[in-house]
Amino acid sequence: MLKYGFLAIISVMTASFDPAMAQTKKGDHGGPLVTSQGHPIEFVHKGQEVIFYVGDDDGSPLPTKEMKGRATIQQDGKTITVQLKPLNPNMMVGKTETELAAQARIVFSGNVHGHSLTARYTVE
């Protein structure tokens, strides 16, 4: 009996785990929100521009003035890297060569205050 109870608990736990759940929450600017080391990072794209809004661990805007970052984008079988520049108050901004298509995958990588932040997104 104990064996079946344990199996039921494991089944419920693994069934409820969904790696895409991180993108179900929307940020203040309408983009998907992912948390990295306690920092909420929202991704928005407009035309060829990619924008990441970075929050502090308490949810307030994190100043990005000293931040370095990049976006790695996989689209149409190609991978490109876009260097991001800080833009006040809490944005990291870059420009792609073409507009992002549905199902493009984006990985944000940034360094701030001595630690690395990473967030993954899929364009809807």
Strand positions, DSSP E, the chain: 33-36, 39-46, 49-54, 68-75, 78-87, 91-95, 105-112, 115-122
Q: Which residues pair with 70 in a beta bridge?
A: 83, 109
Structural domains of the chain in order of their starting residue, each with its CATH number: 21-122 (2.60.40)
pLDDT digits (tens), the chain, 124 positions: 545 444 444 444 444 333 333 456 999 999 999 999 999 999 999 999 999 999 998 989 999 999 999 999 999 999 999 999 999 899 999 999 999 999 999 999 999 888 899 999 999 8
* Beta-carbon count within 10 A of 41 CB: 26
Report pTM: 0.80
Contact 51, 45 (CB under 8 A): yes
- What tokens were used for 110? 């940034």
d(C-alpha 112, C-alpha 124), whole Å: 28
